[in-house]
A = this chain, B = another copy of it.
Amino acid sequence: MQSLLELRHLKTLLAIREAGSLTRAAERLYLTQSALSHQIRLLEEHYGLPLFVRKQPLKLSPAGEKLVQLASEVLPRVAASERDIAKLREGEAGSLRIAVECHTCFDWLMPAMDTFRERWPEVELDIVSGFHADPVGLIFEDRADLAIVSEREDEARIAHFPLFAYDMVALVARDHPLADKPVLEATDFADETLITYPVPDDMLDLVRKVLRPAGVNPKRRTTELTVAMLQLVASRRGIAALPRWSVQHYLERGYIVAKPITTAGLTSELYAAVPQERADTAYLTEFVAITREVSLASLPGIQLITV
């Protein structure tokens, strides 16, 4: 009789539709699969109708469709109001200068910034230009408000928000001898030319986590541009290591092939670092949220970091 429906349910429904399964939706919502299962069972009992057709993959019933439709109209509206309230409290304006150490990050950074700009038009949005070895340092110098980094720094004045994790893959030419191996180990790199961005070794996960510990030190070559890097790989001038999502496009066209790095895999993570005292500034936390949404939706094969 009384309505049972809450915004929580709408969030769940939408997450299930987007993720395509209870299990993955649960991850996004930081809940268990069981919690979601209970939630929808309760809704189904309440409405006396199924919300899903229980098949793999889970499909929405007409009633489920109605609720998801509702969710997709209502939730953005609610988010907008909560944003308005944050603006009342903190003011519309502010600055968001982003420091980036990761070359490939621009792939998702641009769309994320676009969405952000729509929602916080008064916030001055910038990427701190030029390359910087120590993006967190820029925060201390007050030249940046937020830094995209690949490791948490042990520094009390900085708060870290996890963005996502992803696998690095080694890239070799199709006709390269290593293309036949299922997995590349550190020693496989010894006699190759490793092509990287021109950054310190500490910022290259492959070197820091795999090659250096194994004492492997291959010949090196650098380039600023990802396409140039792939070009060199394709023409057998060397091999490279990049996030899988950054090269998915090229892999599908068969220019090059990707190989896992070590049997355990080489997983990297990304965090947003902000000054501790600004950790609950609404537009900063929202930038993080947008980043995760955009990335989750557009980058294949990335994982959430469970805090």
Chain A residues engaging chain B, CB cutoff 8 angstroms: 1, 3, 5-8, 47-49, 62-63, 66-67, 69-70, 73-74, 77-78, 81-82, 84-86, 88-89, 280, 285
CB pair B82 A5 closer than 8 Å: yes
- Complex Cα spacing A48 to B89, Å: 7
Protomer copies: 2
CB pair B3 A88 closer than 8 Å: no
Closest 8 CB pairs of A and B: A70-B81, A6-B6, A63-B85, A6-B7, A66-B84, A47-B85, A49-B89, A74-B74
CB pair A67 B85 closer than 8 Å: yes
- Complex Cα spacing A77 to B88, Å: 26
Residues of B within 8 A of A73 (CB): 77
Residues of B within 8 A of A48 (CB): 89
CB pair B1 A285 closer than 8 Å: yes
CB distance from A263 to the nearest CB of B (A): 38
Residues of B within 8 A of A84 (CB): 66
- Complex Cα spacing A48 to B85, Å: 9
CB pair B78 A70 closer than 8 Å: yes
Residues of B within 8 A of A70 (CB): 77-78, 81
Residues of B within 8 A of A67 (CB): 81, 85
- Complex Cα spacing A89 to B43, Å: 14
Given contacts A3-B82, A6-B7, 6 further A-B contacts (CB under 8 A): A6-B6, A6-B8, A7-B7, A63-B88, A66-B85, A70-B77
Q: If A1-B280, A7-B5, A285-B1 touch, does A66 touch B88 (CB 8 Å cutoff)? A: yes
Residues of B within 8 A of A63 (CB): 85, 88-89
CB distance from A142 to the nearest CB of B (A): 25
| 29 residue pairs from A and B, CB less than 8 Å apart | A1-B280, A3-B7, A3-B78, A5-B7, A5-B78, A5-B82, A6-B6, A6-B7, A6-B8, A7-B7, A47-B86, A47-B89, A48-B89, A49-B85, A49-B88, A49-B89, A62-B88, A63-B88, A63-B89, A66-B81, A66-B84, A66-B88, A67-B81, A67-B85, A69-B81, A70-B77, A70-B78, A70-B81, A74-B74
- Complex Cα spacing A70 to B75, Å: 11
Residues of B within 8 A of A74 (CB): 74, 77-78
- Complex Cα spacing A77 to B70, Å: 8
- Complex Cα spacing A223 to B85, Å: 58
Residues of B within 8 A of A285 (CB): 1
CB distance from A162 to the nearest CB of B (A): 13
